[in-house]
Amino acid sequence: MSNSINIGNVVKKYGELTIIPNLSVQIKNGEFFTLLGPSGCGKTTLLRMIAGFNSIEGGEIKFDDMIINNISAHKRNIGMVFQNYAIFPHLTVRQNVEYGLKIRKIPKAEMKKKVDEILETVKISDYQDRLPEKLSGGQQQRVALARAIVIHPSVLLMDEPLSNLDAKLRVEMRSAIRDAQKKVGITTVYVTHDQEEALAISDRIAVMNQGVIQQVGTPEEIYARPNNVFVSTFIGHSNLFYGKVGRDSNSTYVEFTNGYKILLDNLSQDCKAGMKVIISVRPEEFSIANDGLKVKIKNRTFLGKHTNYELDFSDSMIIPNQPSIEYSQDLGQSTKTYEAGEMLSLKPNAYKINVFTEDGQKSLIKGCD
Ligand SMILES: Nc1ncnc2c1ncn2[C@@H]1O[C@H](COP(=O)(O)OP(=O)(O)OP(=O)(O)O)[C@@H](O)[C@H]1O
């Protein structure tokens, strides 16, 4: 039986150093839940706390209603998959998968049935008599996955399981992992620093930075309505502009420093006229229109499905220290391309753009505050 995981006010310290100051999150039974964040933000640390490999300096972790803080790792009934496979080199695929069941003294016939089933689920039946050295990285990772889920753990924990695989295999393995997880229906916590992988694989994502969860939501929610500037720039690309709020008798708008206005009907009540804000526009949220922002193209990059234009806005309009300001033109929608030096008139999509407080900490879109 799979469990929910309830993490309440947990604290992690290494000596004097606090890595996780106070973190709470509820992971639902059967959910594919991803911890996503930059290197060093504490993802592995939190995963190891759930697994029982790390001490917990404050708060509680519960599987359903049972507090597990003081239950040792091997009694938590957890399946784990790491980036370096951790399968036994001297055992065949089948023996590797059987291993956990043998330890649990599962009767032979039942063991055979369970192993057959899992080998089928992760699609490695054909290799069952091979030694791991005769398998590709992706196949080895399937063995590790089969071995972790065959014991029917309460929760499955995965730490960057695809990072040793090449790009194409990573994409293929994403679906393999997700399909197996859904079929078995096991609560899964997955750690990655790869945002595309997180978007592709997860039911919900927690975006972490410096030991603090910035936002929890479905991939769509996090991409479309990030809570703060960190999330908006960590997940996908966002162009950030200085702006201020304006109100007149029957409309509310944000205004760029060059006076360009976008009418918005979804700004939160906190937005007072004159308030300084950050306007966040994704590259695909611009479209070419006569009444847009006038801007010069810096360079053009053809990327197959779309063309990326780097834009040359005046420094007074854009928040400093951004890698680039970009417009992405979907080639399915347009055949005309533009060259460096040409002027464009780009209109941001009022329904899609995001607005944040001046310090970047809070969204000012209704429902995201
Ligand atoms: N045993 C330890 N003793 C002291 N500090 C540690 C220990 N393990 C991790 N840290 C520190 O805790 C912080 C979080 O590390 P953690 O491995 O959880 O990050 P992460 O988000 O998983 O990063 P990555 O994606 O690079 O694995 C880092 O600053 C790391 O240096």
- Residue 74: which pLDDT band, with cuts at 50, 70 and 90? confident
% of the chain residues with pLDDT over 90: 77
How does the average pLDDT of the chain come out, rounded? 93
C-beta of 37 in contact with ligand 1 (< 6 A): yes
CB 350 within 8 A of CB 260: no
Residue type, 187: T
pLDDT for 121 equals 87
By the 10 Å C-beta count (0-12 exposed, 13-18 middle, 19+ buried), 265 is classed as exposed
- Residue 85: which pLDDT band, with cuts at 50, 70 and 90? low
As beta bridge partners, residue 329 has 307
Residue range 121-139: mean pLDDT, rounded: 90
> Mind listing the pLDDT tens digit for each residue in 280-299?
999 999 999 999 999 999 99
Residue 235: C-alpha distances to residues 170, 182, 206, 230, 296 (Å): 19, 25, 12, 8, 26
Residue range 223-252: mean pLDDT, rounded: 95
Ligand 1: which residue has its CA nearest to atom 6? 14
Which range of 117-121, 269-273, 292-296 scores highest in mean pLDDT? It is: 292-296
Query: Does the pLDDT of residue 54 top 80, yes or no?
Result: yes
% of the chain residues with pLDDT over 70: 99
Cα separation, 145 vs 188, in Å, equals 12
Strands (E), the chain: 5-14, 17-27, 32-36, 58-63, 66-67, 78-81, 155-159, 187-192, 204-209, 212-217, 239-248, 251-256, 261-263, 276-281, 286-302, 306-312, 326-330, 343-348, 354-357
Residue whose pair of structure tokens reads 């409309």 in the numeric block:
251
Query: Does the pLDDT of residue 195 top 90, yes or no?
Result: yes
Query: Does the pLDDT of residue 368 top 80, yes or no?
Result: no
Out of 85-89, 131-135, 202-206, 320-324, pick the least confident: 85-89
* Fold of the domain built from segment(s) 5-224: Rossmann fold (3.40.50)
Query: Does the pLDDT of residue 270 top 90, yes or no?
Result: no
Query: Does the pLDDT of residue 334 top 80, yes or no?
Result: no
| Ligand 1 pocket mutation pick from 13, 18, 41 by most atoms within 8 angstroms of CB | 41
For the chain, first and last CA: distance in Å? 36
CB contact set of 260 (below 8 Å; sequence gap of 6+): 293
C-beta of 45 in contact with ligand 1 (< 6 A): yes
The complex scores an ipTM of 0.94
CA 363–ligand 1 middle distance (angstroms): 29
Tell me the three state secondary structure of residue 140. Answer: helix
pLDDT for 164 equals 81
C-beta of 54 in contact with ligand 1 (< 6 A): no
Out of 20-34, 36-50, 157-171, pick the least confident: 157-171
Q: At what angle do helices 108-121 and 167-184 cross, to 10 degrees?
A: 130
- Residue 167: which pLDDT band, with cuts at 50, 70 and 90? confident
* pTM, rounded to two decimals: 0.92
C-beta of 44 in contact with ligand 1 (< 6 A): yes
C-beta of 351 in contact with ligand 1 (< 6 A): no
C-beta of 47 in contact with ligand 1 (< 6 A): no
CA 231–ligand 1 middle distance (angstroms): 20
Cα separation, 233 vs 10, in Å, equals 27
Residue range 238-255: mean pLDDT, rounded: 94
Give the number of residues written for the chain. Answer: 369
C-beta of 38 in contact with ligand 1 (< 6 A): no
CA 197–ligand 1 middle distance (angstroms): 21
Q: How is the chain split into domains, by residue range?
A: 5-224, 238-356
pLDDT for 369 equals 60
Out of 146-155, 159-168, 285-294, 341-350, pick the least confident: 159-168
